[in-house]
Amino acid sequence: MVAAIAWIGTSFYYIALDLHLLPPRRPDVEDGVGGEVWEIHGGGFYRVEKYRVAPKELPEPLHWFKWEAYTTWLSGFFLFVVLYYASASSTLVDRSVADVAPWLAVVLSCSLLLAAWVIYDGLCLWLERNDRALAVLLAIGIVGAAYGTSHLFAPRAAYLQVGAMIGTIMAANVLFVIIPGQRELVRAKREGRDPDPSYGIKGKQRSVHNNYLTLPVVFAMLSGHFPVTYGHSFSWAVLVAMMAIGAWIRHAFNLHHRGVPLRGLWAIPVTAAAAIAAVAVWLRPASTPPATAGSVTAGKAVFRSAGCASCHTLRDAGATGTVGPNLDRAKPSRELVLERVTNGLGVMPSFRGRLSSAQIEAVAAYVSHVSGR
């Protein structure tokens, strides 16, 4: 997340800088400068100039922005390997979703990361001059990825898989398009050739794509903290909705940077807020009837037979496990127990498919009742 903050910060700043540029008005401006902007920050004034292609002489030192992107992807993939691939049978695979062998699930996950870049890059080359059509196809691809992974991986893993696919596209944009294009511009200047402006145009296009994908990826990266989203029966649609809202919000900022006044942008924050509210209402937990003596008794039997006592402490069941939370102290709500038993979290596996819905309801009723919630 630290690396992602640095990467997203540079993306937000440079897109805003680009959209704020105005044609230079001073007579002493160096030939080749296409735009400039005055800024004030940290108690000082700054004047930033952007060249149409490249300056007459190559400056030294020349600062590059690439390691933010590389570090974000490498650290994210490392965590994905440690937390999901290394324990794929309990975190990546959910037998109630798809009966896939753990090794095959890992192969499919890695293959989808590669496929995301190959398909996206192919679309960019095919629709190089048609950004609207490209945006529509990219949106369709994300919807397809969300739907497909929700029927292939465990719910929480599916969210991260989609985020990792988009993050791979973004990092690959830097590695295979933006940085090589910048290196070619530098090489041309060093060799005394006129730089090809097409490299800058392609790099700018991919940078704008990355800019719109930042907030959707941030949500996917943090989605593990929001089980109410990935635990929903239409989790893929929830993911698509949250990603669309993020891109829509980003669009408002970019329009404002381009010069659209705030009064002309009111529709975007209003519709984004309404969409978030609608998703919240959609995700609200259903009301549950109070626990009965029968459900508590049935839940106690499930607690013992399903192996819950080996990991948790619960006085009423005579359980003294230390792997998971002490339920007498935690006093979890019925809804929380229901979600955790259904979807799992961390070392706790998902019991979806292992226990029936009635059994999960019963154990949730039992634990919340006897723990004193």
pLDDT tens by residue, 170-229: 999 999 999 999 999 999 999 999 999 999 999 999 999 999 999 999 999 999 888 889
Residue 60 lies in a domain: no
State residue 207's pLDDT score.
97
201 shares a domain with 78? yes
State residue 35's pLDDT score.
94
Residue 243 lies in a domain: no
26 shares a domain with 78? no
State residue 153's pLDDT score.
95
Residue 251 lies in a domain: no
State residue 373's pLDDT score.
64
Residue 106 lies in a domain: yes
198 shares a domain with 73? yes
- Mean per-residue pLDDT for 132-144? 97
Residue 6 lies in a domain: yes
pLDDT digits (tens, 9 = 90+) for 245-266: 999 999 999 999 999 998 899 9
Asked which of 51, 76, 91 is the last residue of a domain, the reply is 51
* CATH code, 362: 1.10.760.10
207 shares a domain with 76? yes
State residue 334's pLDDT score.
87
Asked which of 188, 211, 226 is the last residue of a domain, the reply is 226
Asked which of 187, 211, 226 is the last residue of a domain, the reply is 226
Residue 72 lies in a domain: yes
177 shares a domain with 307? no
149 shares a domain with 191? yes
State residue 231's pLDDT score.
82
Query: Over 80: is that where the pLDDT of 27 sits?
Result: no
Residue 56, Ramachandran bin (φ over 0: left; ψ between -120 and 50: alpha; else beta): alpha
Residue 245 lies in a domain: no
Residue 269 lies in a domain: no
Answer yes or no: are the C-beta atoms of 363 and 306 closer than 8 Å.
yes
State residue 343's pLDDT score.
81
DSSP string for residues in 1-61: -HHHHHHHHHHHHHHHHHHH-B----TTPPTTEEEEEEEEETTEEEEEEEESS--SS--SS
* Tokens found for residue 372: 């004193």
Number of structural domains the chain divides into: 3
Query: Over 70: is that where the pLDDT of 164 sits?
Result: yes
**Domain range enclosing 33:** 2-51
Query: Over 70: is that where the pLDDT of 288 sits?
Result: no
- Mean per-residue pLDDT for 238-251? 97
346 shares a domain with 220? no
144 shares a domain with 30? no
Q: How confident is the model at residue 287 (pLDDT cuts 50, 70, 90)?
A: low
Query: Over 70: is that where the pLDDT of 52 sits?
Result: yes
37 shares a domain with 106? no
pLDDT digits (tens, 9 = 90+) for 53-92: 999 889 899 999 999 999 999 999 999 999 999 999 888 9
73 shares a domain with 197? yes
pLDDT digits (tens, 9 = 90+) for 311-368: 999 999 999 988 888 999 989 888 889 888 988 876 788 888 889 989 999 999 999 9
| DSSP-based three-state secondary structure for 231 | coil
Report d(CA 240, CA 294) in Å as an integer.
Answer: 40
| DSSP-based three-state secondary structure for 212 | helix
100 shares a domain with 37? no
Report d(CA 125, CA 137) in Å as an integer.
Answer: 13
pLDDT digits (tens, 9 = 90+) for 93-132: 988 789 999 999 999 999 999 999 999 999 999 998 899 9
102 shares a domain with 184? yes
